[in-house]
Amino acid sequence: MKKKSEWWDLAAIFLVALGLRLLFNWGFVTNKAHPDIASMYRYSLRVAQGVYYGEGAYWPPGFIFLSGGLIRLFGPGGYWTAVRYLQSVLGAATCVFGYLIGRAAFGSRAAGLLSGLLLAGYLPLIYYTGLAFSETLFLFLFLAAVCCLYRLARTQAPHDAAWGGFFLGLATLTRPVSLLVPVLVIPWYWFLWKRRLRLVLGRFLLLTAGLLLTLSPWTVRNLIVTGEPVLVDVNGGINFYIGHNERATGTWMDLGQKTNPVILLGGSPEAGKLGYRRGLEFILTHPRKELSLAWTKFKWFWTKPSDWYITRYARERGLPHLEPPIWGALAVAGAILTRRRWRGTLFLLLFVLYYNAIIVAFYFAPRYRLVVEPFFLLLTAGGMAEVFCCLLRRKGAEEPRGNEA
């Protein structure tokens, strides 16, 4: 009976999430002119034409190859519709993963249902299914990996570690921010598994091996094409330099597309290495400004609203939309309310802190924060479920006294 009710929960969340995303995309006009969208589309066209990415390693390949396959199937004109509806399905499946994670982390069906439904109705997640960015695909793969990590936490089985590493590898090929996530499971499993360090390290190594093996075909391709051992892409060094230079503000800035030597090197390994080198030089020579920039990025992570076009879309259509800072505050409250379940929620908390550190290390953009916002919603759902259960327990305790009276 329990298994049957869970399948009903999963089906209901998927259908609600899918319905909302299809309804949104039915009349949505996507943005083809955004520089990142246009750039990724050009690479995707190469894949569709059989070039298979081309020279360099500027973008991670995950979304590029998915888009290339869609262009091959539906043509350049049909691609823009196909990608929106495929992302609607991926986004709905991501909400199902949210249900499974919430149920596992907080140990209750109510927390799972609230997690899935909050993700289903969260406007930024819905909105990004209409844009040809990598975020929707990344969140689908990453939350699938997190589901595997929670299953591994319960079973300790080697095959669950291998599956977790595989999905983390696919997520990393889409956005490399998940590359160091296996490190986060060490303290989490150490507490969960009663400080059995050998078991923890063994599963960590299996997880990491699965991740690196998944990356290895692309890493070998990069070595053959560029002559350098590039794990995924060179974009990290360029973004690092954007966040650490004389004119840095804490968010994206135009360094000079036709004049800056880092940008002119394009997708070559030299661009990544030069970006990191120049960024580190700036940090060492401008420590006071670096501290100021770090504080600004940390503060923006918790206080900046959504992308302006999401806020505008909600306002124009009269849709309810709580901005991410509100969800961040609710997540903190949820973590406090569920503190007795900290062994289950520790990974969620560690990932929020880890991703906050990534933003501080590079630069803030509302689109980049979207990766961590589902974790705000999961922690919020756990807090809501805890309050709901407390109210039910209190009501149950009061009823006998009322009957006696």
Residues 52 and 40 in one domain: yes
Residue 279 lies in a domain: yes
Residues 49 and 177 in one domain: yes
- The overall average pLDDT reported for the chain is 93
Residues 155 and 263 in one domain: no
Residue 211 lies in a domain: yes
**pTM surpassing 0.85?**
yes
- Asked whether the predicted pLDDT for residue 369 surpasses 60, the reply is yes
Where does the pLDDT of residue 399 fall: very low under 50, low under 70, confident under 90, or very high at 90 and above? low
pLDDT in tens, 256-279: 766 788 877 777 889 889 999 999
To the nearest whole percent, how much of the chain has pLDDT over 70?
97
pLDDT in tens, 76-129: 999 999 999 999 999 999 999 999 999 999 999 999 999 999 999 999 999 999
384 vs 374: CA distance, rounded Å: 15
pLDDT in tens, 136-167: 999 999 999 999 999 999 999 999 999 999 99
Residues 168 and 285 in one domain: no
State which of 261, 277, 298 marks the end of a domain: 298
- Asked whether the predicted pLDDT for residue 404 surpasses 60, the reply is no
Range of the domain at 273: 234-298
Contacts 24+ apart (CB under 8 A), 261-268: 262/237, 262/238, 263/238, 266/56, 266/58, 267/55, 267/56, 267/57, 267/58, 267/59, 267/233, 267/234, 268/56, 268/226, 268/234
Residues 274 and 322 in one domain: no
Residues 158 and 274 in one domain: no
- Backbone φ, ψ for residue 276 (5° rounding): -65, -40
- What pLDDT is recorded for position 2? 63
- What pLDDT is recorded for position 258? 65
Within 13 A of 246's CA, how many CA atoms are on the CB side? Answer: 1
Structure tokens at 6: 């869970």
Residue 402 lies in a domain: no
Residue 109 lies in a domain: yes
Residues 386 and 239 in one domain: no
266 vs 286: CA distance, rounded Å: 26
- What pLDDT is recorded for position 221? 94
Residues 34 and 66 in one domain: yes
To the nearest whole percent, how much of the chain has pLDDT over 90?
82
Map the chain to HEC letters.
Answer: CHHHHHHHHHHHHHHHHHHHHHHHHHCCCCCCCCHHHHHHHHHHHHHHCCCCCCCCCCCCHHHHHHHHHHHHHHHHHHHHHHHHHHHHHHHHHHHHHHHHHHHHHHCCHHHHHHHHHHHHHCHHHHHHCCCCCCHHHHHHHHHHHHHHHHHHHHHCCHHHHHHHHHHHHHHHHHCHHHCCHHHHHHHHHHHHCCCCHHHHHHHHHHHHHHHHHHHHHHHHHHHHHHCCCCCCCCHHHHHHHHHCCCCCCCECCCCCCCCCHHHHCCCCHHHHHHHHHHHHHHHHHCHHHHHHHHHHHHHHHHHCCCCHHHHHHHHHHCCCCCCHHHHHHHHHHHHHHCHHHHHHHHHHHHHHHHHHHHHHHCCECHHHHCCCHHHHHHHHHHHHHHHHHHHHHHHHHHHHHHHHC
Residues 355 and 245 in one domain: no
Classify 57 as helix, strand or coil.
coil
pLDDT in tens, 307-349: 888 999 999 999 989 999 999 999 999 999 999 999 999 999 9
Residue 8 lies in a domain: yes
Residues 169 and 247 in one domain: no
Whether 144 and 164 have beta carbons less than 8 Å apart is answered as: no
- Asked whether the predicted pLDDT for residue 68 surpasses 50, the reply is yes
Closest CA relative to residue 15, chosen from 91, 112, 73: 91
State which of 260, 275, 298 marks the end of a domain: 298
Residues 85 and 227 in one domain: yes
Residue 400 lies in a domain: no
Q: What total number of domains does the chain contain?
A: 2
Residues 147 and 268 in one domain: no
State which of 298, 316, 345 marks the end of a domain: 298
Residue 137 lies in a domain: yes
Residue 399 lies in a domain: no
